[in-house]
Structure 1
Amino acid sequence: MTRVLLVVVGVLLGAYGAWLLLSRQDTDGNIATGTWLVAGVLLHDFLLVPVVLVVMGLGSRLLPGAWSAPVAVGVVVLGSLTLVAVPVLGRFGARSDNPTLLDRPYVAGWLVLAALVAVVVVAVSLLRSRRGAQSGAAPEGE
C-alpha cells in the first residue's frame, strides 16, 4: 500500500511540475528544456555508460580486486556529476550585461570535487586491501 501511495504522489507531483513548466514558459523555453532533458539522457547512454564500461573492463584486469568496486563507484559519481556540471563549467548562459550569472570559479570547485572523490576511492580501496590481507583471504575479484 505504501508503494502505491508513493507512486500516486510521485505521478501527481510530476504532472504538476509538467503543468507548471508548460504553462509558465514560452515555446522557445519549452524547446530548450526538452533539448536539455533529451541531451542528458543521450549523454548518459552514449557517453557515460560506454566510458564506465571501458574503464571498468580495463580496471578489472589491471587493478587489484579490492580496488575495482571503489574505482567503479568513483567513475560513476564523477562522470555523472561532470555531466550535470557541463553547463556551468562551459559557462553556458553567461552574459556580459549581468556579471552575477555564473560568477563563481566552477572549474576550481569541480577540481576540488574530483580530488575528494579520488581521496575517498583511494581510502576505501586501501581499507579493503588491508581487510583482505588481515583475513588472509584474497580480496573480492582476485
Structure 2
Amino acid sequence: MSEQTDANKAIVRRLVDEVFNGGDLDLIDELYSATLAPAARAWITPFRASFPDVQMDTVELIAEGDTVVGRFTCSATHTGKWLGHEPSGRRFTNIDEVNLYRFHNGRITDTWTLEDNLERLTQLRLPHTP
C-alpha cells in the first residue's frame, strides 16, 4: 500500500469519525474539494439534524490509486424530519452503506453512495413505496 492510499483512507476515517459521528461540519471544507464541499454539506447537514446521535462504524476500507471504497454500518435515532417524515423517535441499527470516494490533492473530489434506505425506513416503521 502506498503513502497516498494510506492518506486517502485516513481522510475517509476522519469523515466518518469527526464529521458524521462527531458532528464537526466545518471539517467538510477541509476534506472535500471546493467544488464538492457544498453538495456534501447539503446532504450531511440535514442528515445529522434528523439523526444527531448517528454512529457510523467502518467495516472495511479498500484503497487503490486515487480511490477508496468503504463499507460501513449506520445506526441512529430519528429525532428530526427526514425524507418528509416527521420525527418518530424510533431507532434504526446496522444499516449497510457502501461509499466510493475519489481523491485529488488530498481532498474528496467525487463520491458515490449505496445505502439501504428501504431497511432504514422499515426499521423506523415509516411508510415507503416499493
TM exceeds 0.5?
no
TM bucket, shorter chain? 0.3 to 0.5
Q: TM-score, normalised by structure 1?
A: 0.34
Greater Rg over alpha carbons, structure: 1
Q: TM-score, normalised by structure 2?
A: 0.36
Higher helix share: 1
Query: Which one scores higher on RCO, CA 8 angstroms, separation ≥ 6?
Result: 1
Higher strand share: 2
